[in-house]
Amino acid sequence: MPASKPQLRRGGRPCKAQNGRAMPTEQSTASHSNKTAILAIILISYVMIVLDISVVLTGLPKIHHELGFTDAGLAWVQSAYTLTFGGFLLLGARAGDILGRRRMFMVGMAIFTLASVAIGASQSSAWMLAWRAIQGLGSAILAPSTLALLQTHFDEGEERVRAVSLYSAAAGVSATVGLIAGGLLADWLSWRVGFLLNLPIGIAMILAARAYIPETGKRPGAFDVPGALTSTIGMSALVYGFIRSAQAGWDATTVAILLSSIVLIGLFVLIERRARQPILPLRLFSDVERSGAYGARVLYLAAMVGFFFFTTLYLQEVAGFRPALTGLAFVPATILHVPIAMIVPRLIRRFGRNTVLVAGMLIGIIAMGWLSRAGVGSDYWSAVALPMILIGVSQGLTLSPLTSSGVARVDHSDAGAASGVVNVAHQIGSSVGLSALIAIAAIGSAGLSGADLTAYRVSHAFDAGTVMLILGFLITLTTIVPSVGEANSAKLDEARTACAADA
C-alpha cells in the first residue's frame, strides 16, 4: 500500500508519515519549565537595556537644569551611552563565545546595574556622562549574551520564531514605555528614579541567571582589542562629525573628523580580515540574507529612533506638551504594537516571513511620510496619533523577521558574534542614524527660531527618515525576500524527500 502524503508544516515542526513515526528533531537544550524561566530572564534583561535608552528622553529638560548641562552637552546624555554600547558590542559578543555566555550575562548585568545607581546619584554633568558611558559598556556585554542565549536554548523553527517575536516585541514596546515612564517620573517624582529602579531588578536577574541558565563551556581564544578600539573610535568620530555639522556647519574640521572616521572604519575591516579570532567574523556577511538584514535594520532603526527623538521635540517645543503629557502622547504607538508582535509567529506561519516583513516596512514608510506633514498648529490626533498607530504596527511586524534573518543559518560557535552584529546594526541605526538625521534636519534652517525652527527640523528629519525606510525596503526586496523564498523551497523539498524515505 503506498504511503500517504506526508504532512508538512512551516516553522520546523516534524512531518509525520502514515506509519506514525515522526522525523527526528534536534533535542532541546532545556526542559519546558527551564525554557520559560530562561526566556523571562532574557526578556526582562533586554527590556532594561532598551528602556534606559528612551526613559531619559522626556526627562532631559529636568536633567539639563539640575546638572548644569550646556545645550550642546545635553545631546551626549544619549550619545555617551549609545556609542560605548555600539562600540563594544562586538567585543562583548566575542567574550560570551570565549568565556561563557551565562558568565558574561552576569558580568554585563552587574556593570549595568552599578552604573545605573551611580547615574541616579549624579551631582554633576561630568559624573553622569562618565557613568552613562560605563552603563553602555555593561549593555554591550549584556545585550549580545541575551540573544545568544535565546539562539542556543530555543530550537530553530517555530519555537525560535516565537521567542524572537517576543524578544523583538520587548524592544519596541520598551522604547515607548520608557518615554511614558520617563515623562511621568520627571514630572511627578524625579528622573533619577528610573535609573535607581534597575538595582533590585538587576540583582534579581543575576540570581535568576545563576539558578536557571546553564553555563556554556569556555573556548580557547583571544580578544581582538585593535578591532574593538578602531570600531569604537571610528563610530564615535562618525557620530560626533554629524552632530558637529548641525552646530558648526560643514567646515574643514567637521569634514576632517568624518574622513578620519571612514579611515578608522576601513582599518577595522582590514584588521578583521587578518585577525586570528576577529570580533566580527566577516564570514557572517557571506550569507546574502544576513547581510541584507543587517543593512535594512540599520536604516529601519535610524528612522524609528528618529521618530521617538523628533516627536518628543515636536510635542514639547511645538505643541507645548509637558513631559508627563508627552510620554502619554506616545500611547498610540503601543496600542497595536504588542498584539501585532505577539501574533507575528502565526502570521508568518500563515502568510510567510516575506509577506509579513514587506507589509511591515510598507506601513512604516506610509506612517513616516504622514508624520513629516506635521507643523505648527497641526492637530495632534490627525497629524501625530494616527501615524503613531501605524508606526507601532510596522515595528511589530518588521523587527522579528529582521532579527530572524540576521541570525539565519549561523553555527552555534558564532551565535554570540551574530547576535552582536544584530545589536550593532541596532545601535548604529540609533546613534549614527540619529546623528545623520540631526545634521539633515539643520540644513536650510537658518533664520528660523522658536516653534517654527523646531517644526521645520522635525519635518525634514521625518522626510529623511522616510527615505531611509524606502532604502531599507529596497534592500529587503533584493536580498532577504529572494533568500527566504529559496530557503523555504529547499526545506520543503528536503522534508518531502525525508518523509518519503521514512514512509
Mean per-residue pLDDT over the chain, rounded: 80
**Contact present, 48 and 201 (Cβ < 8 Å):** yes
Specify the pTM.
0.75
| CA nearest to 470, candidates 288, 292, 289, 296 | 296
Instruction: Look up residue 373 and give its three cell numbers.
Output: 506633514
Full 3-state SS string of 50-89: HHHHHCCCCCHHHHHHHHCCCCCHHHHHHHHHHHHHHHHH
Across residues 79-103, what is the average pLDDT? 78
pLDDT, tens digit (0-9, with 9 covering 90-100), for 3-22? 333 343 434 444 444 443 33
Q: Helices 415-428 and 76-99: crossing angle, nearest 10°?
A: 170
pLDDT value of position 252: 92
Compute CA distances 20 → 7, 26, 141, 503, whole Å: 11, 19, 46, 9
Across residues 435-441, what is the average pLDDT? 85
Instruction: Look up residue 233 and give its three cell numbers.
Output: 573610535
φ/ψ of 7, rounded to 5, equals: -90, 110
Q: How many residues does the chain have?
A: 503
pLDDT value of position 266: 94
CATH of the domain spanning 32-214+279-502: 1.20.1250.20
In the predicted model, is pLDDT for residue 69 greater than 60?
yes
| CA nearest to 222, candidates 86, 85, 99, 102 | 99
Q: What is the DSSP code (8-state) at residue 296?
A: H
Report the SS3 class of residue 22.
strand
Instruction: Look up residue 434 and give its three cell numbers.
Output: 540619529
Cα distance between residue 407 and residue 148, in whole Å = 10
Instruction: Look up residue 125 and give its three cell numbers.
Output: 554633568
Read off the amino acid at residue 186: A
Residue 208: exposed, middle, or buried by beta-carbon count in 10 A (0-12, 13-18, 19+)?
A: middle
| C-alpha dihedral, 235 to 113 to 217 to 426, nearest 10° | -30
φ/ψ of 28, rounded to 5, equals: -65, 150
Domain positions in the chain are: 32-214+279-502
Q: pLDDT confidence of 53, banded at 50, 70, 90?
A: confident
pLDDT value of position 387: 96
213-246: b or e for each residue (b if 16 or more CB lie within 10 Å)?
beebeeeeeeebebbbbbbbbbbbbbbbbbbbbb
- Choose between 395 and 483: higher pLDDT: 395
Residue with cell 568565556: 99
| CA nearest to 140, candidates 192, 80, 191 | 80
In the predicted model, is pLDDT for residue 140 greater than 60?
yes
pLDDT value of position 2: 38
Q: pLDDT confidence of 378, banded at 50, 70, 90?
A: very high
Enumerate the β-bridge partners of residue 398.
none
Sign, CA torsion 249/255/256/260 = positive
Min mean pLDDT across 67-81, 232-246, 299-313, 359-373 is at 67-81
pLDDT value of position 190: 85
Report residue 77 CA to chain centroid gap. 19
pLDDT value of position 242: 83
pLDDT, tens digit (0-9, with 9 covering 90-100), for 193-239? 888 988 999 999 999 988 888 876 666 666 778 887 888 788 888 87
* C-alpha Rg value of the chain to the nearest Å: 23
Cα distance between residue 56 and residue 309, in whole Å = 11
Sign, CA torsion 25/27/28/29 = negative
In the predicted model, is pLDDT for residue 274 greater than 60?
yes
In the predicted model, is pLDDT for residue 354 greater than 50?
yes
**Contact present, 15 and 9 (Cβ < 8 Å):** yes
pLDDT value of position 11: 40
**How many other C-beta atoms are found inside a 10 Å radius of the C-beta of residue 112?**
26
Report the SS3 class of residue 183.
helix
In the predicted model, is pLDDT for residue 389 greater than 80?
yes
Read off the amino acid at residue 323: P
Sign, CA torsion 236/242/245/250 = positive
Q: pLDDT confidence of 28, banded at 50, 70, 90?
A: very low
Among the residues of 407-449, which ranges form H helices? 415-428, 434-442
**Contact present, 445 and 252 (Cβ < 8 Å):** no
Compute CA distances 67 → 62, 64, 112, 209, 397, whole Å: 8, 6, 21, 36, 40
Considering 7-16, 89-98, 154-163, 233-242, the range whose residues carry the highest mean pLDDT is 233-242
Assign residue 20 a region (left: φ > 0; alpha: ψ between -120 and 50; beta: otherwise). Answer: left
| C-alpha dihedral, 312 to 395 to 301 to 275, nearest 10° | 150
Cα distance between residue 228 and residue 222, in whole Å = 12
Min mean pLDDT across 87-96, 119-128, 487-496 is at 487-496
Across residues 39-60, what is the average pLDDT? 81
Report residue 210 CA to chain centroid gap. 26
pLDDT, tens digit (0-9, with 9 covering 90-100), for 239-264? 788 878 877 778 899 999 999 999 99
Compute CA distances 97 → 183, 215, 227, 305, 345, whole Å: 38, 11, 16, 29, 28
